[in-house]
Each structure stands twice: as structure tokens, then as C-alpha cells.
Amino acid sequence: MSERAKPILAATWVGFLLSIPFWLDNPYLLHVLIVTGIFIIAAMSLNLLLGYAGQLSLGHVAFFGIGAYASALVSLGFKVTLFPDWVLVVEAKPVWLAMLAGMLAAGASGWFIGRIAFKVRGAYFVIVSISFVEVVRLVAVNWVELTQGPMALNNIPPLEAWGFTFLRKPANYWLVLGVAIASYVLIRRLVYSRAGRAMVALAENEPLATSVGIDVTRYLVLAAVVSATMAGAAGALYAHYVRIVDPDVFLFIYTVTMVIMVITGGKGTLAGPVVGGLIFGLLPEGLRAAAIAPEAQWIVYGVLMVLVVYFLPQGIVPALTKGRG
């Protein structure tokens, strides 16, 4: 692919995506695209941590959920008793501020995970990351005073910005598309830079990387923080689009979905999570149209994952680009 053609192709693709709400009449499909878009943002963020920095983090949905809850709570306002006699009251804030709070909260937990990743390696880190999500989920279920537990936070206000309310589907679609494009650009900048090279170097050959001065903690934490903040943004978008958030958002199955998207699309590539996200975001709809039970769907996913690992271990995107190379 010539260097000249790439920007034109990208512009065409973006133009096509922008145009969809104008001609797609089906509100349900638009909803599917919006949710898929949100998942793609989360998958791109996971790709940074899993695909580039090589951290086997299986707790990614924790960042997504923390972003969703934090943003929802700040936009609704909350009251919680922290110690006997000390009640914390936060008044409802404008949604854009709440979303930033969500991203900040997610980023902070990313910092925490990043520091752990430095100490705890390999398969142990996998276990820690899963445990972390479960603890967060159980807190969300049990700390009813703050999160309403299983009864969910509802009536979450939609985003209002520049005098415009993002209530209807087309508006949310463009919002998600905008954030997705911005996320893609951010990751691209990071990957083609000194910081991105440092992360990849650490993942590929850590002793060699440190021998030329690359600080392990600094870059693992950076990868985790950027990744978590982006996932938190996706979570915040989700909270103010769907406008209900309950502890099920932390279920392991959603982390698995993101992992499947990244791995089948191609970890460590920019296009991988997008391709994987489109496939696994839209596939359920195709299967549902064919009247296949949800359990059977998941069996298909499971088998698909195994097959991809066997036959396309690098994922779909590298398999396609290698042919062209």
C-alpha cells in the first residue's frame, strides 16, 4: 500500500463511518454500532496493555466499570457514610465533568495495577488482575449506600455540551465515533514514539531493554494508566448512553469479550482491535438473527477463539498484511 494512498483511504473510511446515521434507518442497528464502538475503544485500550506492553491483564473491565460508575455517581450526586459521623456529600455535577472524573478514577486504578504488574509477573499477574475485578464487583454489589448494589444506578443524565444534549442515537453515535477516532490517534502516536518502543522492548526482552536504560516501572505504569484511562472513558460513554449501570458491568465475560476482540483481530497491531471489535460486536447480531440461543453463541465464540489461536496465532490483521508484504 503506497504511503500516498493511506491518508486517502483513512479519510474515505472515516467519511463513510460519519455518514451512517444519515442513511441507516434501523435504530436497533445504530444502537448495536454504538455499543460496538464503545467496546472497540475498550479493546484498543486493552491492546495497548496486552498487545504492546505484553501485560497479561485479564481485569480490564474493572477500568471500564470504574469509569462508568464514577462518572454516573458524580453526575447524579451521592451521599455516603465513610466513617461513623463522617458523611461525604457530592452534589450532582455537569456530565462532562463527571466523565472526566470517571476517567481519572479509572486512571488511578490503572496506576495501582501498573505498580502491581511491576512486582508480580506472568501467570501470577493474570490471577491478581482477575481478583482485582472480582473485588471491585463485590464492592459494587455490597456497598449499597454508594452504588445501589444490584438495584442499579439509573436515570443517569446524558451528556450536555455546547448547549447540545446527547440523548438520541445519532448524536451518541457521533460522540462515540469521535472518541474512538481520538483514541486511535492517541495510541498511534504512543506506539510510534520513544515511549511505545520502550513498552514493546520491555515486553520482548526485558533484560536487554533495561541494559539500555529503559525503566521497567515507569513504562509499565504508563501503559497501564493510559490504557485504564481510555477504558474508563469508554465506560463513561456507556454510562451516559445506556443511562443505567449495575454491578454486572464487572462480569468476567466482558473482559473475555475484549480479550477475544484483541487477540482475534491481532494484538500489537493498530487495526487489530478495530477488526476484532467489529467482528465480535456484530457477530452476536448475526447469530441472533439466525435464532441461535445465547448459550450456543458463546459456545461458537469459545470454539472460534481456540481455532484462531491454533490457525491464526497472530490474529487476523497480521495474517492479511503478511500476504501483501
Q: Could you please report the per-residue DSSP string of 5-68?
A: HHHHHHHHHHHHHHHHHHH---HHHHHHHHHHHHHHHHHHHHHIIIIIS------HHHHHHHHH
Least spacing, CB of residue 277 vs other proteins, in Å: 17
Considering beta carbons, is residue 162 or 310 the nearer one to other proteins? Answer: 310
Contact 261, 276 (CB under 8 A): yes
Least spacing, CB of residue 137 vs other proteins, in Å: 9
Stretch that binds other proteins, among 1-9, 72-80, 96-104, 184-192 (CB under 8 A): 184-192
Site for other proteins in 132-161 (CB under 8 A): 132, 134-135, 138-139, 141-142
Stretch that binds other proteins, among 69-77, 98-106, 162-170, 250-258 (CB under 8 A): 250-258
| Residue 79, strand partner residues | 89
Cα 140 to chain center, whole Å? 19
Site for other proteins in 211-230 (CB under 8 A): 211-216, 222, 226
Considering beta carbons, is residue 8 or 303 the nearer one to other proteins? Answer: 303
Q: Parallel, antiparallel, or unpaired for β 164-165 and 244-245?
A: unpaired
Q: How many CB atoms lie within 10 A of CB 134?
A: 14
CA distance 217 to 117: 8
Q: Which of 198, 239, 245, 261 binds other proteins (CB under 8 A)?
A: 198
- Residue 304 binds other proteins (CB under 8 A): yes
At residue 120, the 3 state secondary structure works out as coil
x/- track of binding to other proteins for residues 264-303 (CB under 8 A): -----------------------------x-xx-xx-xxx
x/- track of binding to other proteins for residues 29-68 (CB under 8 A): ---------------------------x------------
| Residue 86, strand partner residues | 83
CA distance 234 to 229: 9
CA distance 25 to 184: 27
User: Could you list the residues that contact other proteins (CB under 8 A)?
Assistant: 56, 116, 119-124, 126-128, 130-132, 134-135, 138-139, 141-142, 185-186, 189-190, 192-198, 200-201, 204-205, 207-216, 222, 226, 252-253, 256, 259, 263, 293, 295-296, 298-299, 301-306, 309-310, 313
